[in-house]
């Protein structure tokens, strides 16, 4: 046969080849830059805080709740109350968000079809796109008066208020990732259970949740990551008081909000400035661990 | 019709549409109790669709409409008072690709018992049911020490046997099989066919198959379908040796398929 097609490469113009090379290199660069940026950020945050490491009283930093960084006599850098603040807001937020988020994921994936499903997914994505400062407004102007009148408490900006905001912010992530996880469960499992006479609910809790367990867990962890790192909404809605909360209606302050509120007022290189950066490192480590856990779990899903 | 009681599944003018597309046209069938009936026909002729009418799993897709009636054990399964759950308990289904649930072998076998009993079943009963069911399908000796292994890790043939085994504790009347051997090799196919023989008599079995040799070997009666219609239904040897319809003859001679 004489009319065999020529290899395509020969027909390409030199320009096309060059463009291809360039695009290839650009893609590589952007891939590596992601890694570079993460390490770069960590490095710079750490570098700013590092000089204070040797002077830092670790016991005080981690276990004292006296945060008096601006005292001219004897500044104290006890971040314990801030850590407790972050943890309590996150934990309470997740206690609210996880049932709603996973419930909604199950609802969207297993009970909705066609139009309703598409609409819900779009609404949920919109919810995820609301800037956190807007959530902060809602916390201040809507939730706060509501909490005061419903629960008869003196202040409406508190742990509970911020936890609800965090829940509202992380639910969309949990729903969309959780829905993906359920969608990834092969339909043959549903049919098998259905043909054995299982009800929809039995299929969900006996088959789908165990089968999609890892993906659902990853959804929860990504939601947690989102919640821990959140700044603006919690800055506006927690009440911003450095104290260990005794009830869910006590105001608290979080690590993130502290950095956001105080960094602008410190002079560069001062101990206060450096401690704030160490708080940043602490936060970074927490979110890193959470995300890493989520990642490893997702990998586990793929391997199955 | 004096021997009506011998019929296990009877359809009257059964038609089914996927949205606008009519996949079954006026199907009238009498399937006998205790026998193996095979459904043959070219790809896309509606075999799977018909099979999935008998336990009403077609209705999962919202756009399916069905008219006519199917009487199973003298009850129209499309009557409004029919419980889908007990219907599906009485009619087991085996799928084309083995689809054990992603849980242990043990839990797969007792899955039906668990979901159909309100207050929970005694462990001893479950253990007994597992042993009986796995013995019946010939898996007990191989798997009795691996009951807690994940079922999805078994060989395909074992998976398909397990999928049959998990129907047995519910004591179904009918077992529907949709090309149960198409994912298996020669040995697997033989093993499943032998299993079907050993279950014959106690259960009414309807199997869909693409493989005419299989239909011939394993079934008592045979139904030939074409374009959503039943062309011929008779005893297997009759259908293969003296087909009444010219289209049946062409199909079994392999002129199209
Ligand atoms: N879920 C569905 N939605 C829409 N159309 C469908 C659906 N399932 C089947 N059909 C159509 O209905 C017709 C019958 O399909 P069915 O699967 O019953 O054929 P079959 O005889 O089992 O074929 P095969 O031998 O390939 O398994 C086909 O034309 C198919 O395209
Ligand atoms: Mg089919």
What is the per-residue pLDDT across A163-216, written as a single tens digit (0 to 9) for each? 999 999 999 999 999 999 999 999 999 999 999 999 999 999 999 998 998 889
Ligand 1 site, residue B137, Cβ cutoff 6 A: no
Q: What are phi and psi of A208, to 5 degrees?
A: -70, -45
Give the pLDDT score at A5.
54
Express each pLDDT in A61-72 by its tens digit.
989 999 999 888
Interface mutation vs chain A, best among B97, B111, B151, most A CBs within 10 Å: B111
What's the B182 CA to ligand 2 centre distance in angstroms? 10
Counting from 1 in the atom list of ligand 1, the atom nearest the Cα of B19 is 4
Whether residues A191 and B55 touch (CB distance < 8 A) is answered with: no
Q: How many CB atoms lie within 10 A of CB B143?
A: 22
Q: What is the pLDDT of residues A239-281, one digit of tens each?
A: 989 999 999 999 999 999 999 999 999 998 899 999 999 999 9
**Smallest Cα distance from A110 to chain B, Å:** 11
Nearest-CA distance B133 → chain A (Å): 15
Segment B105-142, tens digit of pLDDT: 999 999 999 999 877 788 999 999 999 999 999 999 99
Mean pLDDT confidence for B151-168? 94
> Do the Cβ atoms of A192 and B101 come within 8 Å?
yes
Q: How far apart are CA A281 and CA A274, in angstroms?
A: 11
For residue A110, list chain B residues with Cβ-Cβ distance below 8 A: none
Query: Residue A1's pLDDT is what?
Result: 46
- What number is the average pLDDT over the span B139-156? 92
pLDDT for the residue A299: 75
Q: Is the CB of B52 under 6 A from ligand 1?
A: no
Q: How many domains does chain B have?
A: 1
CATH number of B44's domain: 3.40.50.300
CA atoms within 13 A on the CB side of B158: 18
Residue B39 in contact with ligand 1 by CB distance below 6 A: no
Q: What is the pLDDT of residues B192-231, one digit of tens each?
A: 999 999 998 899 999 999 888 899 999 999 999 999 999 9
- Give yes or no for residue B48 CB within 6 A of ligand 1: yes
| Minimal C-alpha gap between B112 and chain A (Å) | 6
Residues A52, A281 contacting (CB under 8 angstroms): no
From the list A114, A197, A207, the residue facing B89 with the nearest CB is: A197
Mean pLDDT of chain B: 91
Give the pLDDT band (50/70/90) at residue A8.
Answer: low
Q: Cα dist. A191→A233, B55, B56, B58 in Å?
A: 44, 11, 11, 10
Chain B partners within 8 Å of A195 (Cβ): 55, 57, 88, 92-93, 95
Alpha helices (H) in chain B, listed in sequence order = 47-54, 84-90, 105-116, 123-136, 140-143, 156-165, 186-199, 212-218, 236-241, 246-252
Interface residues of chain A, partner chain B, Cβ below 8 Å: 113-114, 186, 188-189, 191-199, 202, 206-207, 210-211
Superfamily of domain A77-303: MetI-like (1.10.3720.10)
| Interface touch B170/A114, C-beta < 8 Å | no
A300 neighbourhood in chain B, CB within 8 Å: none
Task: For residue B167, list chain A residues with Cβ-Cβ distance below 8 A.
Answer: 196
Q: What DSSP string describes A57-80?
A: -HHHHHH---EETT-SS--EE--H
Q: What pLDDT score does B255 carry? A: 66
Note the pLDDT of residue B112.
93
The pTM for the full model equals: 0.82
- Domain of B9 in residue numbering reads as 4-253
Cα gap A216→A203, rounded to integer Å: 16
Task: Name the band, by pLDDT with cuts 50, 70 and 90, for residue A7.
Answer: low
Which candidate from B60, B102, B112 shows the least CB-CB separation from A196? Answer: B112
Interface A-B: count of C-beta contacts within 8 A: 64
The residues, any chain, with a CB within 8 Å of residue B62's CB and separated by 6 or more, are A113, A114
Position A2 pLDDT exceeds 70: no
What is the structure's pLDDT at B2? 41
**Which residues make Cβ contacts (< 8 Å) with residue B56, sequence separation at least 6?**
B77, B78, B84, B87, B88
**Minimum-distance CB partner of A194 among B60, B100, B102:** B60
ipTM for the predicted complex comes to 0.89
Q: At what angle do helices A271-303 and A14-49 cross, to 10 degrees?
A: 130
Contact between B217 and B192 under an 8 Å Cβ cutoff? The reply is no
Distance from residue B96's CA to the centre of ligand 1 (Å): 13
Q: Please indicate whether residue B23, judged by its CB atom, sits closer than 6 Å to ligand 1.
A: yes
User: Which residues have a Cβ under 8 Å from the Cβ of A302 and sit 6 or more positions away?
Assistant: none
pLDDT, residue A255, reads: 93
pLDDT band at B31 (very low <50, low <70, confident <90, very high): very high
Closest residue of A to B86, CA-based? A197
CB of residue B47 inside a 6 A radius of ligand 1:
yes
DSSP 8-state symbol, A249: T
Cα B49 to ligand 1 centroid, rounded to whole Å: 6
Q: Which of A206, A210, A211 sits opposite B115 (nearest CB)?
A: A206
Q: Are A147 and A139 in contact (CB under 8 A)?
A: no
Instruction: Check A193 against B111: CB less than 8 A apart.
Output: yes
- Closest ligand to B44 CA? 1
Q: What is the pLDDT of residues A132-148, one digit of tens each?
A: 999 999 999 999 999 99
> What residues pair up with A68 in beta bridges, in sequence order?
A76
Q: Which ligand is nearest to the CA of B65?
A: 1
Q: What is the residue with the minimal CA distance to atom 7 of ligand 1? A: B18
Say what the pLDDT of residue B1 is.
Answer: 42
Instruction: Find where tokens 């959140």 sit.
Output: A230
pLDDT beyond 80 at A232: yes
């Amino acid at each position: 046969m004489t009319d065999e097609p020529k290899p395509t490469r020969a027909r390409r113009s030199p320009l096309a080849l060059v463009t291809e090379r360039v695009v290839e290199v650009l893609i590589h660069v952007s891939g590596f830059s992601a890694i570079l940026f993460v390490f770069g950020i960590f490095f710079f945050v750490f570098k700013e805080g590092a000089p204070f490491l040797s002077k830092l009283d670790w016991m005080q930093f981690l276990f004292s709740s006296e945060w008096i960084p601006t005292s001219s006599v004897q500044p104290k850098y006890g971040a314990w109350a801030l850590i407790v603040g972050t943890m309590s807001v996150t934990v309470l937020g997740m206690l609210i968000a996880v049932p709603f988020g996973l419930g909604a994921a199950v609802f969207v994936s297993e009970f909705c079809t066609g139009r309703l499903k598409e609409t819900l997914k779009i609404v949920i994505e919109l919810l995820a796109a609301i800037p956190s400062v807007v959530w902060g407004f809602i916390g201040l102007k809507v939730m706060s008066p509501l909490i005061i009148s419903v629960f008869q408490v003196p202040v409406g900006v508190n742990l509970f208020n911020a936890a609800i905001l965090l829940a509202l912010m992380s639910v969309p992530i949990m729903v969309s990732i959780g829905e993906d996880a359920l969608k990834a469960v092969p339909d043959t499992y549903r049919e098998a259970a259905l043909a054995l006479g299982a009800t929809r609910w039995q299929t969900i809790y006996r088959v789908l949740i165990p089968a999609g367990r890892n993906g659902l867990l990853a959804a929860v962890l990504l939601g947690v990551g989102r919640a821990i790192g959140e700044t603006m909404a919690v800055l506006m809605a927690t009440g911003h008081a450095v104290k260990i909360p005794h009830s869910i209606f006590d105001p608290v302050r979080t690590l993130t909000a502290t950095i956001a509120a105080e960094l602008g007022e410190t002079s560069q290189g001062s101990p206060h400035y450096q401690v704030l950066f160490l708080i940043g490192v602490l936060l970074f480590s927490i979110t890193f661990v959470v995300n890493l856990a989520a990642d490893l779990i997702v990998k586990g899903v793929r391997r199955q | 019709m004096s021997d009506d009681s011998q019929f296990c599944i009877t359809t009257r003018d059964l038609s089914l549409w996927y949205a606008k597309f009519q996949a079954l046209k006026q199907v009238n069938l009498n399937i006998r109790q205790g026998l193996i009936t095979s459904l043959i026909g070219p790809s896309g002729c509606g075999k799977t669709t018909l099979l999935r009418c008998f336990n009403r799993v077609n209705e999962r897709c919202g756009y399916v409409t069905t008219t006519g009636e199917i009487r199973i054990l003298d009850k129209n399964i499309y009557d409004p008072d029919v419980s889908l759950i007990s219907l599906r308990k009485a009619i087991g289904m085996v799928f084309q690709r083995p689809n054990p649930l992603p849980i242990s072998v043990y839990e797969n076998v007792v899955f039906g018992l668990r979901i159909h009993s309100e207050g929970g079943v005694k462990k001893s009963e479950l253990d007994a049911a597992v042993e009986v069911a796995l013995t019946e399908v010939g898996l007990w000796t191989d798997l009795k020490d691996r009951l807690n292994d994940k079922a999805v890790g078994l060989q395909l043939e074992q998976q398909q046997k397990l999928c049959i085994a998990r129907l047995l504790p519910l004591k179904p009347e009918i077992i529907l099989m949709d090309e149960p051997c198409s994912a298996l090799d020669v040995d697997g196919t033989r093993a499943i066919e032998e299993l079907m023989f050993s279950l014959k008599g106690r259960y009414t079995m309807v199997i869909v198959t693409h493989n005419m040799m299989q239909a011939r070997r394993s079934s008592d009666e045979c139904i030939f379908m074409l374009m959503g219609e039943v062309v011929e239904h008779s005893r297997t040897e009759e259908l293969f040796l003296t087909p009444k319809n010219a289209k049946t003859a062409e199909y079994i001679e392999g002129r199209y398929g």
